[in-house]
Structure 1
Amino acid sequence: MSKFTFIRSIRKMYQFVVDKPLQQGTIINNLYKIKHVIGSGSYGIIYNCKEIQTNEIRVLKQLRPSKQRTKSEVSLFENEISIISKLQHASMPQFYEAFSVNGSLFYSMNYIEGINMEDLIFSTNRKYVEKDALAFILDLLPLVDHLHKKNIFHGDIRISNILINKGKLFLIDFGLSKIEQNDSKFLELRQYDYYDLGDVLLYLLYTNYSSKNKKALPWTEELSLEMETVHLLKRLLQIDEAYSTLESIAQDIETALLAVTKK
């Protein structure tokens, strides 16, 4: 075993020991009673809780104990708190408070009812034809626009970070988000969110694809799409000239939807 592999194994063992989720029924900050773990990421553990005073459901996010020893990880967590406190949108998490208990860092937010798109697609075998996929991205644009007007770059727009409830979309997980006041730098950061939109669109389009070839081909050959949709995807994925505004993206989606409707 190499020295690198040994150190990595020790680190994983340490994380396994110290990063155990809090048990059901645990009361945090004399206010939140844990019901169950919603999920865990690379540096956070997320709980479904009941607020004792109001009896309402809340979401509690804890920075993994193994990450609390690193200033950079703590800084990322504090950055996420700062960004969520600025969102102020009904389709995004609503921040309540941040606090520390026995050295562990937490923050609370509202519970958003819905199913994430990844689970929806895999559990129900949901298919998105070209028209539906385009309409989905068009519905997502106002959320991205809200962030960009606040100079917030999401940085992780993907299927698993989009919830849906009765046709309404919600954008979550701001762990990789940044606020950038420098206009030229923010223009560069926006391109990553635009690319993610293209990636989400491509993902949705592939839900309606059945492979007939043993050899994987580029999406331009595998998917049968209107040329307007191909044009949109190539610009989002920066194969062709990248978009510079959400308005131009919305216009091209509308054009593609019109082409699909006329088919």
Structure 2
Amino acid sequence: MNDCYEVLSVIGTGSYGIVYLCKDLNTNENRVVKQLRPSKRRNKKEVEMFENEISVLRMLDQKKIPMLFEAFSNNGSLFYVMSFIEGDNLEDQIFLRKNTFNEKESLLVLTHLLELVDYLHKKDIYHQDLRIPNMLLKNKELFLIDFGLSKHKVSVDPCHSPFRSSPNKQEEILELKQQDYYDLGEILLYLLYTTYSSKNKKALPWTEELSLEKETVYLLKRLLRIKEPYSNTSEISADLHAALKAKEKVH
């Protein structure tokens, strides 16, 4: 690593990258530095993925998403530096701290996450890896991290394009959107199960195991493509607010 950063600890390792907590020696502030694994740097596809992650982060300016400071190479290794967000990821909150989320709390988490997904989609960025380890909670604020699998696609607007829009391109963008929506459904279901204790030896479908407001069931079924899938975030937002309203009426 270059002379500007002192490694304090390794905070994450994967098949693709190593993530360090570092001190910026110029500012004395903590930073997160991600390195492409040395074993991957001769693999063109892996290098392209790493560079794609850097280019996506460069496009973002959202306080609940890490901010990119710089990218550099040192002795043939590739690195980039981003802001450090102090907080536990949702996976640790659930498994280590034994935090649970009731129906209303789960819906509220989804509200915060949907705002970030909407922000990304408006920039034609699709996260493609929305999972509980990639979400941090700090003082009830939700942060989204890890853009290693994200995709940036320029959307096709036939109204403003001098060319005929490609149906394939539009289908591809809709598929990317709906993958993020499906992941939102999986996260919501995961959170709802944190308060569930099984009394049956036989596992049942979630529709039978969980006691939920009908509005929440409808929202989940559309996110998980059991019913007609959503085509935009405003549809999800409307149904999410209806589910929250239904929950508030009960109490």
- TM class by smaller structure: over 0.9
Residue type matched to 1:171 in 2?
L
Supply the distance in 1 between the matched residues of 2:73 and 2:221 (Cα, whole angstroms).
46
Gaps of 5+ in 1: 1-27
Supply the distance in 1 between the matched residues of 2:225 and 2:14 (Cα, whole angstroms).
29
SS of 1:207's equivalent? helix
1:103 counterpart residue number: 76
1:118 counterpart residue number: 91
From 181, 186, 204, the counterpart of 1:217: 204
Supply the distance in 1 between the matched residues of 2:84 and 2:97 (Cα, whole angstroms).
23
The CA deviation string for residues 214-262 of structure 1, in whole angstroms up to 9 with x for no partner, is 1111111111111111100000000100001111111111111111222
Supply the distance in 2 between the matched residues of 1:259 and 1:56 (Cα, whole angstroms).
45
Q: Which aligned pairs between 1:124-203 and structure 2 lie closer than 5 A?
A: 124-183=97-156, 184=170, 185-203=172-190
The CA deviation string for residues 103-142 of structure 1, in whole angstroms up to 9 with x for no partner, is 1110111111111011011122111111111111012111
Higher relative contact order at CA 8 Å, sep ≥6: structure 1 or structure 2? 2
Asked whether 1:68 is paired with 2:71, we answer no
TM-score (norm 1): 0.88
Gaps of 5+ in 2: 157-169
Supply the distance in 2 between the matched residues of 1:260 and 1:146 (Cα, whole angstroms).
26
1:42: Cα distance to partner? 2.0
Q: Percent same amino acid at aligned positions?
A: 59
Q: Which moved more, 1:51-60 or 1:182-191?
A: 182-191
Residue type matched to 1:202 in 2?
L
TM-score (norm 2): 0.92
The CA deviation string for residues 135-162 of structure 1, in whole angstroms up to 9 with x for no partner, is 1101211111110010000001111100
Supply the distance in 2 between the matched residues of 1:73 and 1:123 (Cα, whole angstroms).
32
Residue type matched to 2:194 in 1?
T
Supply the distance in 1 between the matched residues of 2:99 and 2:137 (Cα, whole angstroms).
13
1:25 counterpart residue number: none
From 11, 21, 24, the counterpart of 1:51: 24
Asked whether 1:231 is paired with 2:231, we answer no
Residue type matched to 1:256 in 2?
A
The CA deviation string for residues 165-195 of structure 1, in whole angstroms up to 9 with x for no partner, is 1011100000000101144122221000000
What value does the CA root-mean-square deviation take over the aligned residues?
A: 0.9
Supply the distance in 1 between the matched residues of 2:65 and 2:112 (Cα, whole angstroms).
14
Supply the distance in 2 between the matched residues of 1:207 and 1:95 (Cα, whole angstroms).
33
SS of 1:174's equivalent? coil
Residue type matched to 2:56 in 1?
I
The CA deviation string for residues 85-119 of structure 1, in whole angstroms up to 9 with x for no partner, is 11111000100111111111101111111110110
Structure 1 runs of 4+ with >4 Å offset: none
1:53: Cα distance to partner? 1.0
1:253 counterpart residue number: 240
